[in-house]
Amino acid sequence: MGKVALVCPGCQAKYRITIQGEAKDKISFSCKKCGQILEVDPRQAKEEAPTQDLLKATCEKCGAEFVKNPEDDARLCYQCRIDLLVSRKKQEVVESPKAVAPAAEAEKSTARYTFKNPEGLVLGPIKLRTAVVLIREKRITGNEMVSRDGSEFIPLVQYPELAEFFPQLLSKPEPITQTDQIPLEEPEALPAQASEKKTEPATSEPRIYYLRLNQGKLLGPLRKTTVVDLIECGFLCGKDQCSRDQRTWAMLEMDQEFKELLSKEDAEVVELTESVEE
């Protein structure tokens, strides 16, 4: 036994014809809608797989009749099974620890926090959710002192609900290993040497000079820097004399310290006077 699907070309009516036995000749019949003659070839019939018989059952919960497969041992209809699964799922959600709000969570929602920064500015009292917004906007940096519900001000890190937003404050410093330790002997020796070098100029007294100008005027006591400034500004010439003890005098043009600072004109005059004396 097989079946053949056929569509009328005139009115597009669909037919499903069952072929019984071993018929080989074509079968002709007229369409019920348009009357066109249709032909069916029995050799095109396809055998269908035998269908499995279904059983009728009555639901023990609601009493409704339903159809099920023979291997199905369930005593409830499909709707009652779905309702049972949904109720079990809801019960699991209610009994789960995540759904039960702990006392700390309830305390967070009702507590009021007051913040005081290192400069002494006070912010609050505000709710925790408001504080979270200010933390994200970096208006609360984690260095504040905090009071909850009017209690004493303590560091922010002592409140876990606030400290969790500042993990860098909770991180413990890494212990210093033996390789990271810096010896103290060498750094102590270096500053001592530097201090000795610095104290040397303090102990040495500055050199003092006396000047006797060509016109006979005396200047002094003067430091070397002052004498150099007078030479550079042209106030002194090579014929002026200098002394360190007011006993021995020498002209600046003959002094090794100031000879190079004299102008070229003074040097030419010195050479000219030397040539005349010769």
Alpha-carbon gap, residue 95 to 87, rounded angstroms:
12
Q: Cite the residue boundaries of each domain of the chain with CATH code 3.30.1490.40.
A: 105-170
User: What is the amino acid identity at position 188?
Assistant: E
**Class for the domain spanning 105-170:** alpha beta
Report the share of the chain in percent with pLDDT over 90. 7
> What is the C-alpha radius of gyration for the chain, rounded to an integer number of angstroms?
57
For 238-253, write each residue's pLDDT tens digit.
888 888 888 888 888 8
The one-letter code for the residue type at 166 is F
The pLDDT value recorded for residue 108 is: 52
Structure tokens at 32: 């019920």
CA-closest candidate to residue 69, choices 84, 85, 61, 57:
57
221: CB partners within 8 A, 6+ apart = 208, 209, 210
Q: What is the pTM of this model?
A: 0.28
Cβ-in-10-Å burial (0-12, 13-18, 19+) of 140 comes to: buried
What are the pLDDT digits (tens) for 167-220? 887 765 555 555 455 554 444 555 555 445 455 454 456 778 888 887 777 877
- Tell me, what's the pLDDT at 152? 92
**Per-residue model confidence (pLDDT) at position 115:** 93
Indicate the average pLDDT of the chain.
75
* Cβ–Cβ under 8 Å, residues 67 and 56: yes
Q: What is the pLDDT of residues 43-94, one digit of tens each?
A: 776 655 555 567 888 999 888 888 888 778 888 888 888 888 888 888 887 7
CA–CA dist 60, 183 (Å, integer): 87
Let me know if 262 is exposed, middle or buried by CB neighbors in 10 A (0-12, 13-18, 19+): buried
Q: Please, which pLDDT band fits residue 145 given cuts at 50, 70 and 90?
A: very high
Q: Does domain 208-277 have CATH number 3.30.1490?
A: yes
Each residue's pLDDT tens digit, 10-44: 888 888 877 776 666 788 888 888 888 888 887 77
What integer is the mean pLDDT of 125-140? 88
- Sign of the alpha-carbon torsion through 37, 42, 44, 48: positive
Q: pLDDT grade, residue 155 (50/70/90)? A: very high
Determine the Cα–Cα distance for residues 262 and 268; give it in Å rounded to an integer.
Answer: 11
How many C-beta atoms lie closer than 10 Å to residue 126's C-beta?
A: 15
